[in-house]
Amino acid sequence: MSTHWTLHKFHGGIHPLENKQQSTTMPIQQAALPGLLVVPLLQHIGQPAEPCVSEGEHVYKGQLIASPAGLGAAIHAPSSGVVERIGAAPYPHASGQPYNAIEIRTDGKDQWHPDIRPANPDELDDEQLLQRIRAAGISGMGGAGFPTATKLRSGQQASIDTLIINGTECEPYITADDMLMRERAADILSGAAILQRLLDARQVVIAIEDNKPQAIAAMQAALGTRPWHVVSIPTLYPSGGERQLIKVLTGKEVPSGGLPAHIGIVCQNVGTAAAVHDAVYLGRPLISRITTLTGAALKQPMNVECLVGTPVIELLQQAGLDQTRMNRVIVGGPMMGFSLADLNAPVIKTGNCLIASTEQEMPAPEPALPCIRCGECELACPAGLLPQQLLFYAQGDDHEQLQANNLFDCIECGACSYVCSSKIPLVQYYRSAKADIREQQQKQIKAEHARQRFEFRQERLRLEEERKAAERQARAERMAKAKAAKEKADAAKPAPVAGSDPSADQLKKLKIEASMARVALTKAEKQLAQHDTPELHAQVAQLKATAEAAQQALAAAEPDATAAAPAAEKPAKAARPALSEAAKKAKIELAMARAALKKAERAEASEDELAPLREAMLKAEQTLADAETGTPE
Amino acid sequence: MSLILIAVITLTVLSLIFGAILGFAAVRFRVEGNPIVDQINTLLPQTQCGQCGYPGCRPYAEAIANGDKINKCPPGGEATIQALADLLDVEPEPLDAVEGEKPVQVAYIREEECIGCTKCIQACPVDAILGAARQMHTVIVSECTGCDLCVEPCPVDCIEMRPVEGDLRSWKWEQPSPIPDLLIIATDREDQA
């Protein structure tokens, strides 16, 4: 059906030497089981997985050994054995730095975990299918390693028209996907059917470069009655890039910064489709992959199916590595791959190719010459960028201009460096500039975060201070109010408080005096016992007298006071009701008579004038006495 | 004569009208605060460390807006100086710090030595230290700005600054060594010789 498909062209592209024929002379070989598997915790884009086994624990083949944290994929034991160590181990990365890994000493039994069971996808719903794919720890097998379940989930949320199964494999040397398509076409297609079902895609397109006629034939043959398209596309690097392939097949461009899903397209690698088949039908997690072993330093280049975690050196030896001829080992293709620093590093889920190259095959890069602005790079750039402008801005660290010239649309394919007549390592400039910009952005985000936290803290301290000040003020007001109230109360009844019980006060005073005298006496007596002098004798005698006097005074006052208190109250209580009208009147009259007499006396009145007044007063006194006795007591 | 008068009157009326418009705009579109301070502040690293001699990043931003030098921020380093120089259109100057640019650091509390005095918690400008009185304290690494303001107040000296260890994911490609300035034009080479 490939005949009916209209093809488009993407901008640029190059034709590097293919070098694919060396590794396709024999079928896929089974790699030997290594003694030690080094399974890194980061084999995908996102967060490293978290180990869920401990050192010394026995694991079965296919057992979960690290679960994903955040964006990521699960990692399983590639073979049965014992977890020997969890820690930093050689890792295939451009930096050459080690990374945390789980090392498994294999027991040679290669025993599958008993829970791994086949299933029929027709009996599973979409959610269960996706769960099976997620649990299998599948991430993109084409090279980038994006977790497949996450990609499918976001594809489900968009409306997908076309599912592209990417069998392009445009990088020179690599033939892993080619061999996979030749030998396992049926698995790829049944995996693709599951992907189509999950994404609800209208059509499925399988894209293969026209330099793989056997793969195209195998896929065509396996297609059967499926109404899908196997499309042969012209060989042109980098047609396997997701965006470039979409352009070739549909003529559409993925917007800058967007995802293919935004224009209704999802791309999956053929290896990913086969892994999905294994996960869904067989229940097997992603623990092995097909890797191309090639390069002039190998006697027998080939493709092997190897376990994830197999050290690179063991695989290369299986292919007849000639250490004396080997110059360096490239992981990935010659265009986008990197030199491996430590041959003990393992193959990981994304490791599609190992090139053991000789000096002659891949010589060290020639020294760069100044850019002569020939413009070849611009003609080659598949992303339609201006590589030489980007170079100048990168050299000048002009981040603003780099972003304005869409540096982040660069796919780092290396086409510009390949065609550069001055041998300038352009891609390395872009990678470095991208990393710098990302770092700056991270710093900016962190600074913004710190600023917010600082301002929140300032605000909190301010509010606390305000609250404290308000509390202080409230407290001061409350105290002032209480004081005022107390003063008022004191003014209202000063006598009852102070003089309510004068005898008690006096008694207290006497008691204090008595006890002080006693204390003075005991002190003096003590002194006397130590220094016997006549003065002291006299003093003691005097003090004794004082103390006794005080004691007596107290003793006299005590019964008085106890008696006085009720006595003083009693008459007052009794008298008040007893005072009759007559008595009151008599009292008033007496008082008036007294007053008149006193007035007269003060005025020095004569005896004749005073006599009647005295008489009147006496009379009044008599009347009062009568009135008081007259009333019932 | 009347021509001159008309011209004078016209210009006077025009100037009054425009003056009124400008006066209205000055009141209506008044900008609160100094916008350049905010712009400077966003370029500063917000560690609030006070190494510039001001109590925090915003006060230093205000000082720069009022004419202070732009090279007093050691945590920001050359990148910040360059960004400030671009913003303010002044010449970048070398960093004014004794120890120069330091690598990114975070505070670390040796927890077994901590007595739980809460002094470092009060010193931290971004609330990155967790703990309570007589309880062990610890630093929330992701929130720590590495200002080292917590080191000084610790009475038992159990806080130290540790450089942030980068792993693979923070690793970055180096920029290739600069292209030598070769004389590729024949006449230039002849002149040189």
CA A251 to chain centre: 42
pLDDT averaged over every residue in chain B: 87
Cβ neighbours of B178 in A, within 8 Å:
395
Q: Let me know if residue A486 belongs to a domain.
A: no
A507 contacts: CB under 8 Å, gap ≥ 6: A554, A557, A558, A561
| Model confidence at A494: pLDDT above 60 | no
Out of A553, A574, A595, a domain closes at A574
pLDDT of A145-173, one tens digit each? 899 999 999 888 889 999 999 999 999 99
Best to test chain B binding among A41, A431, A453 (most B CBs inside 10 Å) = A453
State whether A519 and A592 are in the same domain.
no
Ramachandran region, residue A306 (left: φ > 0; alpha: ψ -120 to 50; beta: rest):
beta
Contact yes or no for A270/A180 (Cβ under 8 A): yes
pLDDT value at residue A509 = 82
The CATH number that applies at residue A310 is: 3.40.50.11540
State how far the alpha carbon of B141 is from the alpha carbons of A549, B106, B107, B110, in Å: 82, 7, 8, 14
**Cα–Cα dist A280/A289, whole Å:** 17
Q: Does domain B35-88 match CATH 3.30.390.30?
A: no
Residues A201-223, mean pLDDT to the nearest whole number: 94
- By C-alpha distance, the chain B residue nearest A424 is B179
Q: Which residue has the higher pLDDT, A384 or A607?
A: A384
Note whether B47 contacts A: Cβ–Cβ < 8 A. yes
* Chain B touched by A367 (CB under 8 Å): yes
Are residues A453 and B127, on separate chains, in Cβ contact within 8 Å?
yes
The amino acid sitting at B82 is: Q
Tokens of A344: 């003990």
Same domain, A457 and A323: no
pLDDT at A254 over 50: yes
d(CA A105, CA A35): 6
Q: Do A607 and A629 belong together in one domain?
A: yes
Distance CA A106, CA A93 (A): 25
Mean pLDDT of A569-574: 45
Does B171 sit within 8 Å of A93, measured CB to CB? yes
The tally of CA atoms less than 13 A away on the side-chain side of residue A240 is: 27
CA A627 from centroid of its chain's CA atoms: 99
Q: Are B85 and B92 spatial neighbours (Cβ–Cβ below 8 Å)?
A: yes
Q: Is residue A556 scored above 90 in pLDDT?
A: no
Q: Are residues A145 and A164 in the same domain?
A: yes
**Predicted pLDDT at B97:** 74
Q: Who wins on pLDDT, A531 or B176?
A: B176
What does the pLDDT average to over A105-109? 93
Q: Which of A528, A558, A574 is the last residue of a domain?
A: A574
A341 touching chain B per CB within 8 A: no
Which DSSP symbol is given to A381? -
A357: β partners: A328
Q: Give me the amino acid identity at A182.
A: R
Q: Which residues of A touch B170 (CB under 8 A)?
A: 439
- Same domain assignment for residues A384 and A344: no
Same domain, A30 and A174: yes
Residue A499 has pLDDT above 90, yes or no: no
Query: How many residues belong to chain A?
Result: 633
Enumerate the β-bridge partners of residue A230. A206
Per the structure, the count of domains in chain A is: 4
Binding residues of A for [4Fe-4S] cluster, by number, are 371, 374, 377, 381, 410, 413, 416, 420
pLDDT of residue A11 exceeding 90: yes
Domain B105-165, CATH class in plain words: alpha beta
CB B57 within 8 A of CB A451: yes
Q: What does each C-alpha distance from A52 to A279, A493, A630 come to in angstroms?
A: 21, 82, 111
pLDDT at A314 over 90: yes
What is the band of A591 on the pLDDT scale with cuts at 50, 70, 90?
confident
Please check whether residue A211 is in contact with residue A198, taking contact to mean a CB–CB distance below 8 angstroms: no
| Nearest Cα to Cα of residue A137 among A17, A49, A197, A5 | A49
Domain boundaries, chain B: 35-88, 105-165
Q: Span A23-37, mean pLDDT?
A: 93
What pLDDT, on the 0 to 100 scale, is given for residue A335? 93
The mean predicted confidence, pLDDT, of chain A is 87
State CA A12 to chain mean position distance. 44
Query: In the predicted model, what is the mean pLDDT of residues A231-235?
Result: 94
Confidence tier at A587 by pLDDT (50, 70, 90): confident
User: What is residue A524's predicted lDDT score, i.e. its pLDDT?
Assistant: 74
Please identify, among A358, A377, A402, the residue that sits at the C-terminal boundary of a domain: A358
My answer on whether A535 and A592 are in the same domain is no
Asked whether residue A157 falls in the same domain as residue A279, the answer is yes
A98 and A236 together in one domain: yes
Q: Enumerate the residues of chain A whose CB falls inside 8 A of the CB of residue B127.
A: 453, 456-457
Mean pLDDT across the stretch A593-597?
Answer: 78
Smallest CA–CA distance, residue A439 to chain B, in Å, is: 8
Distance between CA atoms of residues A15 and A235, nearest Å: 8
Look at A559 and B122; give whichever has higher pLDDT.
B122
ipTM of the complex: 0.80
Cα B36 to chain centroid distance, Å, stands at 13
Judgement on whether residues A298 and A241 belong to the same structural domain of the protein: yes
Phi and psi at A89, nearest 5°, equal: -145, 160
Domain that holds residue A235: 2-358
> Which string of DSSP letters, residue by residue, matches chain B?
-HHHHHHHHHHHHHHHHHHHHHHHHHHHTPPPS-HHHHHHHHHS------TTSSSSHHHHHHHHHTT--S---TTTHHHHHHHHHHHHT--------SS-----EEEEE-GGG-----HHHHH-TT--EE--TTS--EE-TTT-----TTTTT-TT--EEEEEPPP-GGG--PPPPPPPP----SHHHHHHH-
pLDDT band, residue A235 (cuts 50/70/90): very high
DSSP, collapsed to helix, strand or coil, labels residue A12 as coil
Domain co-membership, A525 together with A601: no
What are the DSSP calls for A262-326, one per residue? GGTEEEEEHHHHHHHHIIIII---S-EEEEEEESTTBSS-EEEEEETT-BHHHHHHHTTB-TTTE
Q: What is the mean pLDDT of residues A447-476?
A: 93
Does residue A497 sit within a domain? Answer: no
What integer pLDDT is reported at residue A575 of this predicted model? 44
Q: Which two tokens stand for residue A485?
A: 């109230």
Select from A52, A50, A51, A112 the least CA-distant residue to A81. Answer: A112
Q: Which residue in the block uniquely carries the two structure tokens 């407290």?
A: A475
Q: Do A454 and B48 touch (CB under 8 A)?
A: yes
Residue A356 pLDDT > 80, yes or no? yes
Give how far Cα A73 sits from Cα of A61, A65, A207, Å: 17, 11, 26
Residue range A391-409: mean pLDDT, rounded: 93
pLDDT band at residue B7 using 50, 70 and 90 as cut-offs: very high
CA distance A173 to chain B (A): 25
Same domain for A131 and A43, yes or no, is: yes
A496 inside domain? no
